[in-house]
């Protein structure tokens, strides 16, 4: 969930609908791509598909959009050897929890520290922000049906398939 892997540029060209030079600075995730592609092709987005089309952002029709995104990574141990973690990111803050065989929390203020290099989790000046992000993180985990137990089940299946 660090900035280098969380943010990715995307260039889209669709002259009938997108003005050249349009720049969108919204919290769009790669999981939004499939609903967006389906939207552009006129295919209904299945109700059980998480995330949503950002077509309205691209063509200027939509001004409201999400103010936070949920992230989870649970393929550990695996080829990348990245520890399991989940978190919430807003346009300014990021809260991450590394779990499984560790229990570490990280908080970043991306306005003050755009590269996320200084963990502010234990900084008392950020206590109110921390409380809000913990609440938001829990709400998003419930919304998307994520839990540590579910992640453990996925990992167990993954490791059993490799053996």
Domains of the chain: 3-58 (no CATH), 69-162 (3.30.1120.10)
Q: Please give the Cα distance from 55 to 32 (Å, whole number).
A: 10
Of 97, 88, 92, the closest CA to residue 112 belongs to 92
> Is this structure's pTM higher than 0.95?
no
Residue 74 CB partners (closer than 8 Å, separation 6+): 84, 86, 151, 154, 155
- Along the 163 residues of the chain, how does pLDDT read in single tens digits? 888 777 778 888 999 999 999 998 898 888 899 999 999 999 998 988 878 899 999 998 988 899 999 988 776 566 666 788 899 999 999 999 998 788 999 999 999 999 999 999 999 999 999 999 999 999 998 888 887 776 666 666 766 665 5
Burial 120-137 (b: 16+ CB within 10 A, else e): beeeeebeebbeebeebb
CA angle 82, 108, 151 (to 5 degrees): 35
CB 46 within 8 A of CB 20: no
Q: Please give the Cα distance from 40 to 14 (Å, whole number).
A: 10
Rounded to 5 degrees, φ, ψ at 88 are -130, 140
Three-state DSSP class for residue 40: helix
Can you state the percent helix, strand and coil of the chain, rounding each to 5? 35, 15, 55
């Amino acid at each position: 969930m660090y900035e280098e892997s969380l943010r990715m540029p995307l260039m889209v060209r669709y002259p009938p609908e997108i003005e050249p030079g349009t720049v969108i600075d919204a919290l769009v995730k790669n999981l939004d791509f499939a609903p967006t592609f389906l939207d552009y092709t006129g295919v209904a987005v299945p109700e059980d598909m998480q995330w949503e089309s950002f077509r309205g952002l691209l063509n200027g029709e939509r001004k409201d959009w999400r103010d936070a995104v949920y992230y989870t990574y649970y393929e550990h141990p695996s080829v990348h050897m990245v520890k399991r973690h989940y978190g919430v990111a807003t346009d300014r803050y990021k809260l991450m929890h590394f779990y499984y065989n560790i229990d570490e929390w990280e908080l970043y203020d991306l306005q003050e520290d755009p590269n996320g290099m200084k963990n502010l989790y234990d900084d008392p000046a950020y206590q109110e922000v921390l409380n809000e992000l913990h609440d938001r993180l829990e709400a998003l985990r419930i919304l998307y049906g994520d839990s540590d137990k579910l992640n453990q089940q996925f990992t167990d299946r993954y490791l059993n398939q490799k053996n």
